[in-house]
Amino acid sequence: MEEFGRKLFAERLRDARERLRGLTQAQLADKSGLPSTSISHFENPEGTRKPSFDNLRRLANALEVTTDYLLGRSDDHIGMPLAADALYRDVQNLTDVDKEFAQAMIKKMLEKNQPKE
Amino acid sequence: MEEFGRKLFAERLRDARERLRGLTQAQLADKSGLPSTSISHFENPEGTRKPSFDNLRRLANALEVTTDYLLGRSDDHIGMPLAADALYRDVQNLTDVDKEFAQAMIKKMLEKNQPKE
DNA sequence: GGCGTACATGTCGATAACGTCAAGTGAATA
DNA sequence: TATTCACTTGACGTTATCGACATGTACGCC
């Protein structure tokens, strides 16, 4: 079981390496400190190898993406800067109506700051 | 090597289980589907066991935290739902003054929804 | 004292990921 | 054609994690 997440991981890893960072397997191998053949094994969608605790961290660090993205638990590869945490947390607890209102207001403030693009 | 992240993981796991979710090891074992002894092994700061690919995902799912938090890559345990992405990105581009204003307004809306705890 | 709960610790064989290496494909270039 | 590059694939022995189980500690409670 759990064959599901394995395939997603393969896609996410290749996507992050190629599209996001434009690296070859050898270059990622260099940055992450693990052999390029291991990366190839990981990126094979039909493969069986899954990263260990350490190797997952190495890959995420080298690619500068979240591990949740690599694992397919989040669709967003960027993390959450601490500065926005408090505000973000509050927004999470708003009703949908209020959320929309907040979003509209924030957009207004953005436009005010940059009158012309 | 990499003994560094192992200890942090032990702390984060226990912290998420006890402080964030208020669960016993047995309860987390139940929710995550792995034996409570495994959880005890993981939470031992001097231990050597590290979660596999699958078990890390199981723990993060059961605890509703990010894997980046468990791995010590992020100090924030909450992830970033897609619905909040646009809003989140907008907020990033606000001036500090506007950010404070937005936060104050959002807090007002929160209190309105939950007048009394 | 005797119970139950929560957790720690260690051992066992089985399975899985590890790094390494060799050999391969396919596409681009000289 | 020969060479190089990016990557694939399979196999090897080594090491680490796996679940299961037994045992032990420490606490509160009746």
Comparing CB atoms, the residue among B73, B94, B107 nearest residue A90 is B107
Selected for mutation to probe chain B from A50, A88, A111, A114 (highest B CB count within 10 Å) is A88
- Report the chain B residue with the minimal C-alpha distance to residue A95: B113
Which pTM does this prediction carry?
Answer: 0.77
| Residue B75 pLDDT > 80 | no
Nearest CB to A91; choose among B5, B82, B106: B106
- The pLDDT value recorded for residue A83 is 44
Which tokens in the block code for residue B81?
């739902």
Chain A closest-CA separation from residue B41 CA (Å): 15
- Tell me, letter by letter, the H, E, C secondary structure of B2-57: CHHHHHHHHHHHHHHHHHHCCCCHHHHHHHHCCCHHHHHHHHCCCCCCCCCHHHHH
More confident residue, B116 or A49: A49
* Number of other residues whose CB lies within 10 A of the CB of residue A104: 9
pLDDT one-digit tens code per residue, B34-43: 999 999 999 9
Q: How many CA atoms lie within 13 A of A109 on its CB side?
A: 21
pLDDT in tens, chain A (117 residues): 556 789 999 999 999 999 999 999 999 999 999 999 999 999 999 999 999 999 999 999 999 999 999 999 887 777 765 445 556 656 666 666 666 677 777 766 766 665 543
- DSSP code of residue A106: H
Of the candidates A92, A103, A113, A82, the one whose C-alpha atom is nearest the C-alpha of residue B102 is A103
| pLDDT mean over B23-28 | 97
Two tokens at B53? 């690919």
